[in-house]
Amino acid sequence: MRLLIIEDERKTAALLRDTLTQHDCEVICVHDGSSGLKEALNPGWDALLVDIMLPKLDGLSLVRELRAKGHTTPVIMLSARGEVEQRIEGLDAGADDYLPKPFAISELLARLRSIVRRSTRQRSVVFSVADLSFDQTSREVRRGGRKLELSSRESLLLECLLRAEGRVVSRRDILASVWEYDFDPGTNLVDVYVRRLRDKVDRDHTPPLIQTLRGLGYALRTEP
């Protein structure tokens, strides 16, 4: 995780930096609000830790300004005063979480992991293999630049194969992920849908991407 700490108490900032670095984080500290905002506007941060009481620009204004500029980087507000009003003010300003000082580093780490996970999920994920692309959020599928119309099941099936990143997915796993069946209904449901999907994704295109591995399942990849 790449973290930016904006905290004017240098001792606290240094302690946080050292501890978080030991937990495989890459940490930069700045000690006032206006240089904090400037740094926060650079791309590439996984999360920001922002103290509320800061010289030059307070933490709440910093977060407000960051959000006003359209930046969605997750923010945890830190404050010596753990009162409810401050917490609400922080969240209203656009912070994702609030941690009253003093806090246990394990709690900070848990909250960091949770907000970073949330923000990664919200970010649009686009899978692509050869000239096929699938946007997880808009559900748009393209092959060779042309948009493909898939039914919702077909699109779930495609997503299931793409998530496996070229590994073989068994019929059982496909049934579980696309139909939420935890049993094999003993029909050729999967084969029927794979055929339909193949018709849309692979027909008129090279190389064929959807592969059948007899007795094992299906894979989506360029190489056999």
Q: Summarize as ranges the residues that interact with Ca ion (CB under 5 A).
A: 8, 51, 53
Select the residue whose beta carbon is closest to Ca ion and give its number: 53
Closer CB to Ca ion, 12 or 170, in the complex: 12
Least separation in angstroms between residue 69's CB and Ca ion is 23
Closer CB to Ca ion, 81 or 113, in the complex: 81
Closer CB to Ca ion, 8 or 39, in the complex: 8
Least separation in angstroms between residue 7's CB and Ca ion is 6
**Nearest 10 degrees: Cα torsion 52, 57, 60, 61:** 180
Closer CB to Ca ion, 53 or 91, in the complex: 53
Least separation in angstroms between residue 163's CB and Ca ion is 43
Closer CB to Ca ion, 51 or 89, in the complex: 51
Measure the CA angle with vertex 12, ends 8 and 17; round to 5°: 100
Least separation in angstroms between residue 8's CB and Ca ion is 5
Least separation in angstroms between residue 27's CB and Ca ion is 17
Separation CA 200–CA 210 (nearest Å): 11
DSSP letters spanning 64-76:
HHHHHTT----EE
Separation CA 211–CA 150 (nearest Å): 19
Q: Which two tokens stand for residue 95?
A: 């912070």
Query: Residue 24 — left, alpha, or beta (φ > 0 → left; ψ -120 to 50 → alpha)?
Result: left
Separation CA 161–CA 178 (nearest Å): 10
